[in-house]
Structure 1
Amino acid sequence: MQFFETFKNELINTAIVLVVLLIIRSLIHFAITKIGHTSGINDARIRLIRRYITVTLFLIAILIESFIFGAQVHDLAVVFSSVFAVIGIALFAIWSILSNITSGIIMFFNFPYKVGDKIEIHDKDFPIKAIIEDIRAFQIHLRLDNGNLVTYPNNLMLQKAVTLIQKDAIDETVDDGVDAI
């Protein structure tokens, strides 16, 4: 009981922050789902972007909670600068992963090609004509005409010229199958 009496204001503020962040999360998830469905993006990519938003809001909640419970700005500055220094060094070593994740987020909101489209990637070293089989967080799965599966990094997909050869009938058969059920 002593705990609740001592931290009564902080606990009330925490409840308010959590409710507000949950409402914001729900609104953003609704908007992302709506954008994804109107753009014809598959559910796996929609869930991935929603997960990124949830993690970001969780980190924001931790930051706000630290202020509510009395952390000072200079204390948090020391902690965050140390954490970001370590993360920065680690991420510099794996910058391509960050680049691919960022490209995956960009491709979610602004990518003219969908699963099932046949595309041609104009790369002088390794030109590719394939059907997009899946779009993931780090790479795109492309199925070549000979049946081989190629994983192509998201960041290269945004850097290379890509031509839409034809729309594949996969989307139409999936829609017809759903109506039949």
Structure 2
Amino acid sequence: MELLYLEYKNELFGTIICFLVLMILKYLGAKTIRKVGKLSDINEVRTRLIVKYSTAGLTAFGILALILIWGVDFKEIGLVFSSVFAVIGVALFAQWSILSNITAGIILFFSFPFKIGDRIKIMDKEIELPHEIYVIEDIRAFHIHLRRTNGELFTYPNNLMLQKAVGLATTYEKSIGNTSDL
């Protein structure tokens, strides 16, 4: 056992440091994300989802760091990564919509000016009723739950919330001078 320790002393020390740094980054990142969520009055479920995403990213970073610490040959790892990315690329090409919605969900967490309970107007000509007012009921990883004025639940993809113009209903109502149908 002592021989094993002496032979891999630097790698073991690097691994321990890597784990400590990752644990500290995970703690600080989660604390920061929760603080941003609390200050922005963001739903706790959304905050936990973003914490999970950051944890997954840090885990991937940690695996890469451990590979470098233990000195895996770059030619071999390059072959493995290129094979894995080729398979993932083909699989994800079919699922680009899901990835774009997840990415949009993360962006919306940090920069979406609206929150649950706000009344919004989506300027999208493809929607059935283009002047409809929606109430945000929930913001999920892939889509946003909107309630129409007639009570019908409507889901709208996160990536379209970034692509289409969205305004607060009170601002829209003041501009047209109509608040009677709400």
| Rg (Cα) greater in structure | 2
- Asked whether 1:139 is paired with 2:143, we answer yes
Aligned residues: 167
**Which residue of the other structure, out of 158, 161, 173, is the alignment partner of 1:157?**
161
- The 8 Å contact of residues 139 and 152 in structure 1, kept in 2 or not, is answered as yes
Q: TM-score, normalised by structure 2?
A: 0.85
Deviation of residue 66 (structure 1)? Answer: 1.4
Runs of 4+ in 1 over 4 A off after TM superposition: 2-6
Question: In the alignment, which residue of structure 2 is the partner of 1:95?
Answer: 96
**Amino acid paired to 2:12:** L
Whole-angstrom CA distance in 2 between matches of 1:65 and 1:125:
49
Q: Deviations over 1:110-166 (max 9, x none)?
A: 111100001111111213421100001100001112221111100111111112114
What is the 5 A alignment of 1:29-68?
A: 29-68=30-69
Q: Deviations over 1:33-63 (max 9, x none)?
A: 1111111111111111111110011111111
Whole-angstrom CA distance in 1 between matches of 2:133 and 2:87:
41
Deviation of residue 3 (structure 1)? Answer: 4.7
Deviation of residue 5 (structure 1)? Answer: 5.0
Task: List gaps (5 residues or longer) in structure 2.
Answer: 172-182
Question: In the alignment, which residue of structure 2 is the partner of 1:75?
Answer: 76
Deviation of residue 10 (structure 1)? Answer: 2.1
Whole-angstrom CA distance in 2 between matches of 1:4 and 1:146:
70
Whole-angstrom CA distance in 1 between matches of 2:50 and 2:114:
17
Whole-angstrom CA distance in 2 between matches of 1:166 and 1:46:
27
RMSD: 1.7
Whole-angstrom CA distance in 2 between matches of 1:15 and 1:142:
47
Deviation of residue 80 (structure 1)? Answer: 1.2
Task: List gaps (5 residues or longer) in structure 1.
Answer: 168-181
Q: TM-score, normalised by structure 1?
A: 0.86
